Structure 1
Amino acid sequence: MKLIGSLSSPYVRKVRIVMAEKKLDYQFVPENPWAADSAVSASNPLGKVPCLIMEGGEAVFDSRVIVEYLDTLSPVGKLIPSTGRERAEVKTWEALADGVMDAGVLARLESGGYDGRTESQRSQVWIDRQLSKIDDGIKAMARGLGDKPFCSGVHISLSDVAVGCALGWLEFRFPQIGWRDEHPNLGRLIDKLALRPSFADSKPA
């Protein structure tokens, strides 16, 4: 398998961590989807990463679809429950974390991360709206985690992978958001996850 992606993308990192936790072999193909000469659209018509190229050449895209598929490939390190409320809980955590990342990406692009917009075209109201979503999302994460060792119980799951990627990316791109001071339980979780090789080897760069 080949994984097309950017080392700075939190969505790509989520897939890389799942690959590592599942002990799956793959080739990483670095690609900047924002570059003028990006070839990612040849595999994903939406022009986004991550994109997983299967052994037969078929493409699978969207990080949620990819990680769900990867979790079925090996019984090692099961990250998503098969059925029931437990599965819904893990997928909801993933949706929350992805929503925080979505808002962060939109805020960054609007505030200057995308060169295709001039200063006069940028909207501070839009940026503030996205930052508010981030703040609300982090508060929901902290409430949901409480004093549990992991987001969805006593073992690591996709919930923790997704939350770890979201908060790790915020520290990378938005260090001014001091979520650790207000939510020390999230800080303890992230520090614990950072000790795992899958997280340590995939820090955004």
Structure 2
Amino acid sequence: MTGPPQSRQDARHLERSSRCSVKVSDRACGITNSRVASCGGRRKVDRAFICSCDRRIPSPGKTSMLLVGRYTSPFSRRVAVSLRYLGFEYEHKAINAWSNLAEMRSYNPVGRVPALVLDNGEVLFDSNAILDYLDFMVGPEKALTPLEEPARHGVMRIIVCAMGALEKMVHSVYEVTMHPKEKVHDPWIDHNLSQTELGLDWLDQIGQTPWMAGERFTQADITTTIVAQFALARFPERFAPGTYPNLDSLSARVMELPAWQETVPAPDEAKLKVSIPTEED
């Protein structure tokens, strides 16, 4: 990629160019000494790989995966956008983990979203673990987080900063939504949001050339946009448009991608309220 999409047509071309097939060589049935992935050509991925014949390796566009978690969750949304961008087909189950905690725990024992049910029935949970899996499946040429250094840590440090800022906002949201009004501790909210501000300040100061980590569109761009938009939606008085002009510019480009537009929360999903589960629940 040599530059940002200037139009929706450009954005679609950008997204289509990310898609590829992943194959495992015939020698991968049983015990082999190498795993081979195809991404426009054969490439060795690792050594001493053991694969059983009954274990299916999913390929973009040819899976029956299930993503569990509402798109209103920034953690679920970053997985959904990545799935779409990379060309994976999946079904979606919009569960409110607080109101359906027992059901969510059947996917993730901790009861947190998102969870991804693979087509072989195995379940992955935690957005970072899921995204790492998707990157491995598509291979190094298409992975949204580079699999090799030094590009890998360049993307990872941006993601870690964005996710840290997000976690602090989530703490603030919970302080308001999970406590009676008279028990909300405003200094704690301000403390967390001040840490979010520092993180967003740092992200805004990164020069986009044209993307957060350089010429290539990466997970750094998806996750940073997710976090910036969450800040705007949840705390508009503190993170108003124009506060972080570079992040505004990035968000405008990322939000042109079909993968983003196809994962906008449905109106009924956005209306679901968060509340503490009771014994009756």
How many aligned residue pairs are there?
201
Q: Does structure 1 residue 55 correspond to structure 2 residue 55?
A: no
Go from structure 1 to structure 2 and tell me whether the alpha carbon gap of 1:30 and 1:182 turns closer, same or farther (over 3 Å shift): closer
Code of the residue aligned with 1:157 in structure 2: it is T
- Percent identical pairs in the alignment equals 26
Distance in 2 (CA, whole Å) between partners of 1:173 and 1:77 is: 32
Instruction: Name the SS of the counterpart of 2:205 in structure 1.
Output: helix
Distance in 1 (CA, whole Å) between partners of 2:168 and 2:196 is: 6
Who is 2:129 aligned against? 65
Who is 2:205 aligned against? 143
Code of the residue aligned with 2:70 in structure 1: it is S
8 Å Cα contact 1:138-1:179 kept in structure 2: no
8 Å Cα contact 1:31-1:38 kept in structure 2: no
Who is 1:121 aligned against? 183
Go from structure 1 to structure 2 and tell me whether the alpha carbon gap of 1:177 and 1:202 turns closer, same or farther (over 3 Å shift): farther
Q: Does structure 1 residue 167 correspond to structure 2 residue 228?
A: yes
Which structure carries more relative contact order (alpha carbon 8 Å, separation 6+)?
1
Distance in 2 (CA, whole Å) between partners of 1:151 and 1:96 is: 12
8 Å Cα contact 2:205-2:246 kept in structure 1: no
Instruction: Name the SS of the counterpart of 1:182 in structure 2.
Output: coil
Quote the offset at 1:56 in angstroms: 2.2
Distance in 2 (CA, whole Å) between partners of 1:121 and 1:190 is: 35
Go from structure 1 to structure 2 and tell me whether the alpha carbon gap of 1:170 and 1:32 turns closer, same or farther (over 3 Å shift): same
Code of the residue aligned with 2:114 in structure 1: it is P
Encode CA deviations 1:32-51: one digit per residue, 9 max, x unaligned.
Answer: 01115651011101110001
Matches within 5 A, 1:28-43: 28-35=92-99, 38-43=102-107
Q: Which runs of 5+ in 2 are unaligned?
A: 1-64, 271-281
Quote the offset at 1:72 in angstroms: 1.8
Quote the offset at 1:180 in angstroms: 3.5
Who is 1:106 aligned against? 171
Q: Which moved more, 1:29-38 or 1:58-67?
A: 29-38
Aligned CA RMSD, in angstroms, stands at 1.6
Q: Which runs of 5+ in 1 are unaligned?
A: none
Q: Deviating runs (4+, > 3 A) in structure 1? A: none
Code of the residue aligned with 2:204 in structure 1: it is A
8 Å Cα contact 1:21-1:77 kept in structure 2: no
Encode CA deviations 1:83-102: one digit per residue, 9 max, x unaligned.
Answer: 11210121121111111111
Quote the offset at 1:80 in angstroms: 1.3
Who wins on radius of gyration, i.e. which is larger? 2
Relative to total residues, which structure has the larger helix share, 1 or 2?
1
TM-score normalised over the length of structure 1 = 0.91
Of 72, 79, 101, the residue aligned with 1:8 is: 72
